[in-house]
Every structure is written in structure tokens, then in C-alpha cells.
Amino acid sequence: MTTLIVILWLVCSVFVIFEKKIVRMILWLFLSSIIASIIYLLLGSPDLAMAEATASAFVTIIFVIGFEKFFNLRDMKKYLKDEKEIEKENKFKRYILPAIISIGILVLFINFAIPVEQNDYLKNLILDRFTIDIGGENAVTAIYLGYRVYDTIFEALLLVIAVVAVVHMSNFDITKVNDGKHSELETSGMALFLVRIVAPITIIFGVYLIANGFLSAGGGFQGGLAIACFFVCRFFIYDIYDLPIKKINRLEDFIFIIIVAMAALTIFAGLIQQVPYRFMTLAQEIYLFVMNALIGIKVALGFIILFYRYVAIERN
């Protein structure tokens, strides 16, 4: 079965290269990365499958926005919200009902609280195979440098892309940047309704992925992308980009420094070995959770900068 899907993947990749029309190319790219995610799942790496699935959707969105800005083909009727009626609903509908629904969905996501559901799938998989796949004797090093190396590499790549995109592309002579104006993307009422349903689920799901990253599949990168997708939905709903980009950029650099400092202090300096043996697992879990949360926030901020810069740039 795996070989059949690999053949499908090859066919899709060949079509990505040899397709000449841009729309079809984007479609084939989306399809090939979805099939790649299934292959990663079947080969026994659910984390990478999640990362691929989230990244493929976000890359498609950025492609679409970028091509739309490049060709500047928006001469259809403008959809401007003149009658933006802010309905004053009562407090129950605005706050209490969403809180109840989100708590219910969060309870559905938690799987470490129920002892029956615990199984040793990931643990046995990694513990059995890391000596064969990567070598060495330390499982944590094997995970960080072998199974989770995409996390580190893509982190560095993301920093480079974000800085280059923000500094270089928004300072062209051809382009101008307008902040705080309404966009001109055409939307229909049904799509707005659907995105309003989807948006809160994405942010709950992102928080779940980050908080549960060291216990099951998931982690900082996937959760950060989910949170960034929430801000994409927010742009889609309100049609306005009013986030302070420069402050977000500064915050992202600051969080990157914190990540490096924390890794240096705890892992390289060996501070985590100084902890007494009773609190060892607790300290390790706290370290993993904080690192996952920092990576998730950094990834979310970086992708928010990318998306909002792409949206805000316009041609003269």
C-alpha cells in the first residue's frame, strides 16, 4: 500500500514541475504535499505528518495571496463593508456560550487525563528504532537531531525568510505599503459563516497541540502554525489589517534570543542534571513544555508577519 501511494506522490510531483498554468500548479502542489503527509503517517512519524499538513495549507494561502498581488487582477466589484453593523448581543451569546463550547472541545482533546487511553505506541516506536535509525545512546539527542531536526532547520529558515521578506520586499520602489485599510478580496456570506465557525476551533486546537506536545504527537511548530491560521481567519472575517508589525517583529527576535538562552542554560550547561532525582521528571516536563510554548509563539509571530506583509503590499 505504501508503494502505491509513493507512486501517486511521484505522479503529483511530476505534474507540479511540468504544469505550465499557475492555478493548476498550486493545486498539484497542495495535492502532493497532502499525499506526502499520508506517507509520513504510514512510515511511522505522526509529528512530521502534522507539520506537513499544516504547512501545506499555509503555503497555499501565501502562494495565492502572492500571485494575486503580483497579477493585480482585482477589477471585479469591490466588496466593502459599509454597513458594518456591530450587533449588540447579550452577554450570554457573546461570552458564556463560546466559553462553554470551547471548554467542551478542549476536554475532548485532552488524552493524558484518562488512564485507559494511555498506550505506548510512540514510546516503543522511538525506543526500539532510534539506535538503528540514528545511532548513539541518548534518546533525547536522537529525537532532537534525528526525528525532530526539521523543527530546528525550519526555525532558522523561517527567521531568514521573515527578515528578508519584511526588510526587502516592502521597501521596493514599485510597491507601497498601506496599513490599516480594508482589503478588496471578494467574499460571500456563506464562506464568512464557515470561517467564523472554523476560527475558534483552530486556536483551541493550536493551544492543545502546544500544551500536549511532549506527551503525544504535535509540538511547537504545528501549534504555532495553527495559531497563525487563526489570524488568517481573523483577517478574512474583519477585512482589516491593523496589527503593529514592527512591534511583533521585535518581539519575535526577543523570543528567539530567549529560546537560545534557555537551551544553552539547561542543556549545554547541564543545569537540568543538577536537579535532585525526585524532581527530575517534573523539571524535564516543565522544560519541554516551556520550550514548546516558546517555539510555538515564535513560529506563530513569524507566520503572522509573513502573511500580513504579503497582504499589505500593493503595486503602484
| Phi, psi for residue 43 in degrees, rounded to 5 | -85, 0
Region of 20-28, 127-135, 172-180, 284-292 interacting with other proteins (CB under 8 A) = 20-28
The residues in 181-210 that bind other proteins, with binding defined as CB under 8 A, are 185-188, 190-191, 193-195, 197-198, 201-202, 205, 209
**What cell does 176 get?**
507601497
Among 45, 56, 266, 292, binds other proteins (CB under 8 A): 56
Among 25, 30, 139, 263, binds other proteins (CB under 8 A): 30
Which is closer to other proteins, CB of 64 or CB of 99? 64
Taking residues 97 to 136 in sequence order and writing x for each that binds other proteins by CB under 8 A, - otherwise, the string is --------x--xx-x--x-xx-x-x---------------
Q: How far is the CB of 203 from other proteins (least distance, A)?
A: 11
CA distances (Å), 285 to each of 50, 142, 213, 289, in order?
A: 22, 18, 10, 6
Q: How far is the CB of 103 from other proteins (least distance, A)?
A: 14
Three-state SS annotation for 66-86: HHHHHHCCCCCCCCCCCCCCC
Tell me which residue has cell 490599516.
180
The residues in 32-51 that bind other proteins, with binding defined as CB under 8 A, are 34, 37-38, 41-42, 46, 49-50
The residues in 59-88 that bind other proteins, with binding defined as CB under 8 A, are 60-61, 64-65, 67-68, 71, 73-74, 76
Q: Give the whole-angstrom CA distance, residue 141 versus residue 52.
A: 22
Nearest to 188, CA basis, from 146, 258, 236, 259? 236
Instruction: Identify any residues that bridge with 177 across adjacent strands, giving them in sequence order.
Output: 313
31 binds other proteins (CB under 8 A): yes
Q: Give the whole-angstrom CA distance, residue 222 versus residue 218.
A: 6
The residues in 230-269 that bind other proteins, with binding defined as CB under 8 A, are 232-233, 236
Q: Give the whole-angstrom CA distance, residue 25 versus residue 18.
A: 9
Region of 86-94, 134-142, 215-223, 238-246 interacting with other proteins (CB under 8 A) = 215-223
Give me the torsion for CA of 228, 229, 230, 231, rounded to 10°: 60
Among 6, 13, 25, 27, binds other proteins (CB under 8 A): 27
Among 8, 159, 243, 288, binds other proteins (CB under 8 A): 8
Is residue 62 packed enough to be buried (19+ CB in 10 Å), middle (13-18) or exposed (0-12)? middle
Which is closer to other proteins, CB of 65 or CB of 295? 65
Among 16, 36, 45, 53, binds other proteins (CB under 8 A): 53
